[in-house]
Structure 1
Amino acid sequence: MTAHNRGASVPHFLIAQSELPQEREARRRRAGKSSGETYAATLAQMRPGVATTIVSPTDDDTPTFTAERLARFDAVFLTGSPMHVYDDGPEVRRQLEFMCRVFASGTPSFGSCAGLQIAVAAAGGRVRKMPERMEAGIARRISATEAGRTHPLLAGRPPSWDAAALHGDEVLELPAGATLLASNAVTQVQAAEIRHDGGVFWGVQYHPELALREIAIAIAAQADELLEAGLADSQDDVEARARDIDALHDAPDRRALHWRLGVDGEFAEERLRRREIANFLASLPDLRTD
């Protein structure tokens, strides 16, 4: 699929997935979709009829997307992935160069988890491995900063909320031109806006695009890491948590699961979980900088 002129009746979104080929295939075997395919499915549900193109900037055989070509899209979405943006290598460099061109194109962009970290690093901020901790399954008590309380990205969020999350890296330092929008006790940067080189990026450290079943599959697959981080005492604990989150996917109103997981509708209900993506889509007419 090729880019069309923005402003047409059907919006066209570019989805950049930073997984390596073997990681994409492993995710497809576990969850049925790559991270980019998950984003495409979510956007298609939220905006029926939308056109999407998935690209993998980390791959050495991916054609270069110039700033001029990127400007033809209505928005760019950056997915999560196992990528560590502080590891210098050709895959990371290609991804960061791609994001620099996104900023230069003026096309509004949105990213979750590693997508936020990529935008931070491309704009001059710093990302690190979280020291002796990680956030897995549920990011608890995320709260908006003073700037975040009136920012359209978080419109409709209560003063504190839980979100689907799975990450062992975090933003250490936001770049110049960034605004911190939300934090929690685990990591300072849970949501941010970045303005850089003529472009605007909105991002979150959590995963509004993921179905709860995908979160359940992901934490089950990373049981060893959760045990090493001290988040669970046994494999059985991880499997029990994964089962509860998977069950909540099918029964988001089930009060027993809300009680057992310690969540409310902000986490359980798909429409509320996707709030940041919905807010970004609604704000697109105001975000174009050219």
Structure 2
Amino acid sequence: MPHFLIAQSELPAEREARRRRAGKSSGETYAATLEQIQPGVATTIVSPADDAAPALSTDRLAQFDAVFLTGSPMHVYDDGPAVRHQLDFMRRVFAAGIPSFGSCAGLQIAVAAAGGRIRKMPKRMEAGIARRIFPTEAGRNHPLLAGRPPGWDAPAIHGDEVAELPPGATLLASNAMTHVQAAEVRFDRGIFWGVQYHPELALREIAVAIAAQADDLIEAGLADHEDDVEAWANDLKALHDTPDDPALRWRLGVDGEFAEERLRRREIINFLSNLEALRG
């Protein structure tokens, strides 16, 4: 049975706040998702951004079958100890030659570690649903996006984005809001597949995140009142419980690619299916 390393970039206070809201830290969510996809899989969670976190050597990292990088509130363009710790960790993952996958901040960390650039989104945040994601020409035949239709929606909540991919990276998907929605990064001895959206999250977790950021959504002009945010979050929670409800799908403007858990997790499933090839 494979053994996966999950690296969460949330700091201790952020992890506890997420546990209070959603019941799990971002790393614990990833572990639960991987266990549901591959029952019995072994997972180890680390927090490389923490001041007291031990630095794992490349030899130790190479003992894992893959590394997963979670989302978090981390602003990768802020030059502070937490960001430097996280980027150093990711460079060791690349040096170890171990396949890695990440979502949201996980994508941004891998891109920055390989020499790319991250920025605050210039217009507004992308919140709740990333709409009309389309594969690039390279993405149409890339195994990360195998099975995706010509366009799809995905759970997302982020105010930062990739501004520039590093050398050796391939853009795989975009939409009107965020140019880099999916990418492959090759750096040093490693290969990373990542997405800006959240295939690992349950819809209830997205709903909780939306409700917790109501003030930010109103400030960004995405909602007029807290009641609007609450009603939208409640629809997401209801879709979590009844994903085949046609009225909820219509009201939220989504199809099965977003509503159905198996389809929503497609990129993670594809990554796991290709691990042997990625390890060379």
1:147 counterpart SS class? helix
Aligned to 1:142: 133
Amino acid at match of 1:182: A
Measure the CA separation in 2 of the matches of 1:108 and 1:270: 24
What per-residue deviation string (whole Å, max 9, x for no partner) do you get for residues 212-258 of structure 1?
A: 00000000000011011111111111011100000000000000000
Measure the CA separation in 1 of the matches of 2:208 and 2:241: 14
What per-residue deviation string (whole Å, max 9, x for no partner) do you get for residues 29-59 of structure 1?
A: 0000000000000000000000000000001
Aligned to 1:247: 238
2:274 counterpart SS class? helix
Residue 190 of structure 2 corresponds to residue 195 of structure 1: no
Residue 34 of structure 2 corresponds to residue 43 of structure 1: yes
Measure the CA separation in 2 of the matches of 1:170 and 1:82: 12
What per-residue deviation string (whole Å, max 9, x for no partner) do you get for residues 10-37 of structure 1?
A: 1000000000000000000000000000
How many positions carry a matched residue from both structures? 280
Gaps of at least 5 residues in structure 1 are 1-9
Aligned to 2:8: 17
Measure the CA separation in 2 of the matches of 1:61 and 1:169: 27
Measure the CA separation in 2 of the matches of 1:164 and 1:132: 19
2:102 paired residue among 111, 125, 129: 111
Residue 219 of structure 2 corresponds to residue 228 of structure 1: yes
Instruction: Give the 5 Å matches for 1:1-290.
Output: 10-289=1-280
1:210 counterpart SS class? coil
**Which stretches of structure 1, 4 residues or longer, exceed 4 Å deviation after superposition?**
none
Aligned to 1:3: none
**Identity over aligned residues, as a percent?**
80
Report the Cα offset of residue 95 of structure 1. 0.1
Gaps of at least 5 residues in structure 2 are none
Amino acid at match of 1:223: A
Report the Cα offset of residue 68 of structure 1. 0.9
* C-alpha RMSD of the superposition: 0.5
Measure the CA separation in 2 of the matches of 1:139 and 1:133: 13
Measure the CA separation in 2 of the matches of 1:283 and 1:86: 31
